[in-house]
Amino acid sequence: MAKTTYYVPIGPIHPALKEPIRVEAEVEGEKIVKVDVKRGFAHRGIEYMGMKRNAIQTLYLSERICGICSISHPYAFVIGSEKALGIEAPPRAQYIRTIIAELERIHSHILWLGVIAHEIGFDSLLFWTWKGREKVLDILEAITGNRINYSMYMIGGVRRDLKESHIRVLKDMITYYWEFTEHMKEVFLSDPVYKARTRGVAQVSKDVALKLNLVGPTARAAGLRMDIRQDIPYDAYADIDVKAVVPQDIVGEARGDAYDVTMVRIYEIEQSLDIIEYCIDNLPEGKILAIPNYIALLNKIKKTEGEGIGAHEAPRGEVVHYFRYDGTRDGPAVWKVIAPSYNNINSWGYCLLGAEVADIPVVVAYIDPCMCCNDRVAVVKDSTGKILDYSILHRKAVEKTRALEKELGVMK
Amino acid sequence: MTLTAENVFDKLKEELGDAILNYEFKEYKMGVKKPRTYKEIWMEIDKNAFRRAIEAIFKIEYPHLHFITGEDIGESIRMIYSFGLFHEHPWGEVSIVIKFDLPKNKLVLPTITDLMMGAETNEREIREMLGVEFDGLKNKRHLFLPDDWPEGKYPWRRDEYGVDDMIKHTHKSVKDIREERGEQNG
């Protein structure tokens, strides 16, 4: 009998995916023989919007690229802009920026640990990890005023200072998370079921990781010592001498699978705690903004010509922003954003080949994908092939609401 | 072993010679308590020497590709490639930015996917957004744009091949559309 293959389309909207992306797999029995990934379902043309606005407006727009790592994009943005414009942030601001970025890494990594537990089917573990994540979110809210989209960074510094009371809660938090990570190591790394479900799944060797241009914990799990905080240090990282966390330093070998990624992420939470501790113990005094007057800052941007690249090691991997200011406008003339998922999704096609259908969620989740970061136009057509633009879609939505109101008898 | 930015540049200069039209070392001071400087190499090259330049970089060490982007500057498209060398060494990464102008009547570049598989995503994006054709690129499917995106429209272009007419349409108000159709407002 001839072999029959079946086509399994997953997404763009699917219960296993939190965000829209389409994985087209061809299966032979339980084995996947061909994979194609289609992105672009959440492309919003943010770079185009940014090039029409002034730099401060664009900075806050960049924060909206991603909700989870909402400090990573502004961080790369301010570094890139400062390099292009020749502005230097005051020492205190540099340390505060580092603290906020590390707090975000803790919450993002714990979030991922919950997601991977959910994908495997351990929902109680998801609830437990996410309960533990609340503490860091509360602290972020206490410092910045928001649980997400902190609006904390500014070109040449930060907008809010760190008070004595914040330092006190940060110290409490460090003690709490040291204990919490010990528990996580036990629950995730020693659990035989978790190990059976993740060992050998989504395996990438060091060589392949390099060729696929992978970044972040995904690359580090494969044994690649790559970390922007170590390779091109910036802000307080330059004083700390951060070392990339790789499995070979922890257990002696790197296999580059979903289990190793879990290990790297848990140990990186501990590394973040160390970094925060160093920063609060050595927090320099002084001002927090190089140019406190925003009008003066915009005027400087308008008169400065230059280009620069800002790179930040986000929780998921490196975020790179390229800028060119042309000296005629108060915003960037060119702005290009590269998010970690942009590179890391390359690994799906490789990892899914030969894998089982049930492993798709683990492979998809192991890189901690973020479609909002990755996609930054959608065209909707009706049955006759006519393109429906925003106003028509809006009208249709309003019409539906009106019809429902009529049906339910609540029309005024 | 890592090389300094100057040493890397010397090696590139040896391979490329006069094909380097312009270069600059950008220096940045990083760190508060232990300030150190790190350098980036920015160079403009002759577009015909592009493949040679990439091969020269791969000869020094297998790099990490930061990004590939392009800008519509009127008569031509300015391509920008950014690589990082020695990315596994603390303070050791040497960042190389290569820039060159590609005339709009001949938007063809050799692919680098044979050297680095991961560059496919970048090349596919540049292809659909700017209309630059990559010689040797195997997967030419759209990356972000829908499969039925109109041919010959490139969102990053600022000339007649751009999407200005589409953008204008997107921002039309319901009032404008009704007026065009001759429908009654209100």
Q: Tell me: the pLDDT tens digits for A167-178?
A: 999 999 999 999
pLDDT at B111: 93
The lowest-confidence range among A3-7, A37-41, A275-279, B9-13 is A3-7
Q: Is the pLDDT of residue A183 over 50?
A: yes
- Structure tokens, B52: 């040679």
Determine the pLDDT at residue A299.
92
> Are residues A213 and B143, on separate chains, in Cβ contact within 8 Å?
no
Q: In this complex, do A375 and B38 lie within 8 Å of one another by their Cβ atoms?
A: no
What pLDDT band is residue A377 in, cutting at 50, 70 and 90? very low
pLDDT of residue A89: 92
- Assess contact for A371 and A41: CB atoms under 8 A: yes
Q: How high is the ipTM of this complex?
A: 0.87
Is A234–B84 a contact, with Cβ atoms under 8 angstroms apart?
no
The segment with the largest mean pLDDT, out of A38-47, B129-138, B145-154, B164-173, is: B129-138
A:373-402 residues touching chain B, CB 8 A cutoff: 375-379, 381, 389-392, 394-395
CB A152: neighbour CB atoms within 10 A? 22
Domain layout of chain B by residue ranges: 3-153
Q: Which two tokens stand for residue B173?
A: 């108000």
Is A373 known as a binding-site position?
yes
For residue A381, is pLDDT > 60?
no
| B5/B92 Cα distance (integer angstroms) | 9
pLDDT given at position B90:
87
Residue A165 in contact with partner chain B when CB distance is under 8 A: no
**Helix, strand, coil tally for chain A in percent (to 5):** 50, 15, 35
CA torsion angle A345 A348 A350 A353 (round to 10) = -160
Confidence of residue A20 (pLDDT cuts 50, 70, 90): confident
Q: Which of A130-144, A309-323, A365-379, B72-86 has the lowest mean pLDDT?
A: A365-379
State the architecture of B3-153 in CATH terms: 2-Layer Sandwich (3.30)
Distances A171 to A106, A176, A178 between C-alpha atoms, Å: 14, 9, 11
Task: Please tell me which residue, A214 or A19, carries the higher pLDDT value.
Answer: A214
Q: Give the model's confidence band at A379: pLDDT under 50 very low, under 70 low, under 90 confident, else very high.
A: very low
- Strand locations in A5-69 (E): 6-10, 22-28, 31-38
Q: From the list A94, A244, A338, which residue is nearest B67 (CB)? A: A338
* CB-CB neighbors (< 8 A) of B71 in chain A: 324, 334
In this predicted structure, the answer to whether residue A380 has a pLDDT above a threshold of 50 is no
Distance from CA of B90 to the nearest CA of A (A): 5
Mutate to test the interface with A, among B27, B68, B77, B121 (most CBs of A within 10 A): B121
B148 chain-A contacts, CB cut-off 8 A: 379, 381
Mean per-residue pLDDT for B74-95?
A: 90
> Cβ contact (<8 Å) for A40 and B30?
no
- In chain A, the residue whose alpha carbon lies closest to the alpha carbon of B141 is A38
Q: Which of A74-83, B82-91, B120-129, B138-147 has the lowest mean pLDDT?
A: B138-147
Residue A305: per-residue pLDDT: 92
Average pLDDT, chain B: 87
Percent above pLDDT 90 for chain A:
39
A307 marked as binding residue: no
pLDDT of residue A321: 92
pLDDT tops 70 at residue A345:
yes
d(CA A150, CA B62): 38
Residue A382's pLDDT is 54
pLDDT score, position A2:
62
Check whether B161 has a pLDDT greater than 90.
no
Confidence of residue A127 (pLDDT cuts 50, 70, 90): very high
- Of chain B, the percentage scoring pLDDT greater than 70 comes to 92
**A332 pLDDT higher than 80:** yes
Between A218-222, A238-242, A346-350, the lowest mean confidence (pLDDT) is in A346-350
CB contact under 8 A, A226 and B169: no
> Are B88 and A379 an interchain contact pair (Cβ–Cβ within 8 Å)?
no
pLDDT of residue B150: 82
Task: Tell whether the model's pLDDT for residue A1 goes beyond 60.
Answer: no
Inter-chain touch A391–B174, beta carbons under 8 Å? yes
The DSSP secondary-structure symbol of A199 reads T
Q: Which residues of B touch A309 (CB under 8 A)?
A: 40, 66, 82, 95, 97
User: Mean pLDDT across the stretch A265-287?
Assistant: 94
Taking contacts as CB-CB distances below 8 angstroms, the residues of chain A near B62 are: 210
**Residue A197: its pLDDT value, please?**
79
- Taking only residues 320 to 359 of chain A, the set having a beta carbon closer than 8 angstroms to any beta carbon of chain B reads 320, 322, 324, 334, 336, 338, 342-343, 345-346
- Indicate if the pLDDT at residue A11 is higher than 90: no
User: Smallest Cα–Cα separation from B87: which of A102, A72, A249, A229?
Assistant: A229
Q: Name the burial class of residue A246, with classes exposed (0-12), middle (13-18) and buried (19+) by CB atoms within 10 angstroms of its CB.
A: buried
Residue A351, both tokens:
């990892």
Is the model more confident about A28 or about B73? B73
- The pLDDT confidence band at residue A272, using thresholds 50, 70 and 90, is very high
For A338, which of B66, B89, B120 is closest by C-beta distance?
Answer: B66
- The chain-wide mean pLDDT, for chain A, equals 84
Q: What is the pLDDT of residue A387?
A: 60
Q: For tokens 């020695």, what's the residue?
A: B86
Cut 0.90: pTM above it: no
Taking the C-alpha atoms of residue B147 and residue B126, their distance in angstroms, rounded to an integer, is 16
pLDDT of A412 > 70? The answer is: no
Give the mean model confidence (pLDDT) for residues A44-57.
86
